[in-house]
Amino acid sequence: MIMLEITNLHAGYAGLEVLRGIDISISPNEIVALIGPNGAGKSTVIKSIFNISDVTSGSIVYKGEEITDLHTHELIDFGISYVNQGRVIFSNLTVRENLEIGAELIRDRHVVEKNLSHVFRKFPVLKRKAGQLAYALSGGERQQLALGRALMQNPSLLLLDEPSLGLSPKLQKELFETISQLREDGLSILIVEQNAKKAIQIADKTYLLEDGKIALSGGKDIIKHEKIKNVYLGGRY
């Protein structure tokens, strides 16, 4: 069975075509990485799944259902959660409010409480700082809060856009451990990363996106590919 199947997707913004026919598939319980240079269209892939960018043609099928035209709340109800680029949180809300608002669409108070204690177990620092305004959090804590907020929605598929960007190597390491742990918990994850090496290491499958097209894809051994070696492991961009 396939969790998410993107076929021949063309998408962009108001007339500007960014993605020019891409195919990506994600199986249950799989981490799929999407790497590539800045401006290649990585974020646009995630935004297309979340119906934020304009999809001009192609299909996006999730658990057998076409989701191309669904509204955000329907996607969330379906179990897709999105953590956007930049560790975005509500800085003027408390940590607890940031998490609770993640579960906005869940009506059952008990489920919300259960998810909250799950997130607090996963990220103890958020529990300690639950009552503080989120703007006081450090970069690493912000990323945990952004992840925690997405987990409050009970997702089966998590879309992560450059979660490691701007984090120290130590925090990056912790973050990738957390992400692997989430897969153990049963989630499927699509992760966009600029840290190609790390991404390939934790992913079951990696796609290289260049100029709106998939230039290369493969498993962990993709790391041995000439192109990846020469261009993407030389450094980060």
Partner 1 sequence: MAVVAQLIINGLIAGSIYALVAAGFSLIFSTNKFMHFAHGSSVVIAGYLLFTFFSLWHIPFYLSCLLTVVLTGVLGVVLHRFVYLPLEKKNASTVVLLIASIGLLMLFQNLLQIIFSASVKTIGYVQVAQGVSLFGASITPLQIAIILLSFFLLILLYWFMKYTALGRNMRAIADNKELAEIIGIDHIKVASLSFFIGSALAGIAGILIGLEQNVYPTMGTMLIVKGFTGAVIGGIDFVPGSILGSYLLGLIENIGIWFIPSGYKDALSFALLFIFLLFRPQGLFGINKGVRK
Nearer to ligand ADP, 36 or 155 (CB): 36
CA distance linking residue 176 with residue 170, whole number of Å? 10
Going by their DSSP bridges, the two strands 188-192 and 31-35 should be labelled as parallel
Can you tell me which of 6, 30, 43, 155 binds ligand ADP, judged by CB under 6 A? 43
The helix/strand/coil state of 14 is coil
Element (H, E) at 48: helix 42-49
φ/ψ of 17, rounded to 5, equals: -85, 120
Provide the minimum distance between the beta carbon of 42 and ligand ADP in the complex, in angstroms, as a whole number: 3
Taking CA atoms, 7 is separated from 58, 145, 152, 179, 201, in Å, by 6, 32, 29, 26, 25
> How much is the CA Rg of the chain, to the nearest whole Å?
17
**Which residues share a beta bridge with 55?**
11
From 22-30, 92-100, 181-189, 227-235, span contacting partner 1 (CB under 8 A)? 92-100
What b/e readout covers 59-73, taking b as 16+ CB neighbours within 10 angstroms? Answer: ebbbbeeebbebeee
For the record, the structure tokens of 117 come out as 């204690």
Q: Is 101 in the site for partner 1 (CB under 8 A)?
A: yes
Report long-range pairs for 125-128 (Cβ below 8 Å, ≥24 apart).
126/95, 126/99
Q: Which does 138 bind (CB under 5 to 8 A by kind): Mg ion, partner 1, ligand ADP, none?
A: none
CA distance linking residue 4 with residue 67, whole number of Å? 10
Provide the minimum distance between the beta carbon of 22 and partner 1 in the complex, in angstroms, as a whole number: 21
Q: Is 41 in the site for partner 1 (CB under 8 A)?
A: no
From 58-66, 93-101, 123-131, 215-223, span contacting partner 1 (CB under 8 A)? 93-101
Q: Which does 149 bind (CB under 5 to 8 A by kind): Mg ion, partner 1, ligand ADP, none?
A: partner 1
Q: Is 2 in the site for partner 1 (CB under 8 A)?
A: no
For the record, the structure tokens of 29 come out as 């319980």
Provide the minimum distance between the beta carbon of 114 and ligand ADP in the complex, in angstroms, as a whole number: 34
- Binding-residue pattern over the window 21 to 40 for ligand ADP, x denoting contact by CB under 6 A: ---------------x-xxx
Provide the minimum distance between the beta carbon of 236 and ligand ADP in the complex, in angstroms, as a whole number: 13
From 95-103, 117-125, 181-189, 190-198, span contacting partner 1 (CB under 8 A)? 95-103
Positions that interact with partner 1 (CB under 8 A): 50, 52, 72-73, 76, 82, 84, 88-93, 97, 100-102, 104-105, 133, 135, 149, 153
Positions that interact with ligand ADP (CB under 6 A): 13, 16, 18, 36, 38-44
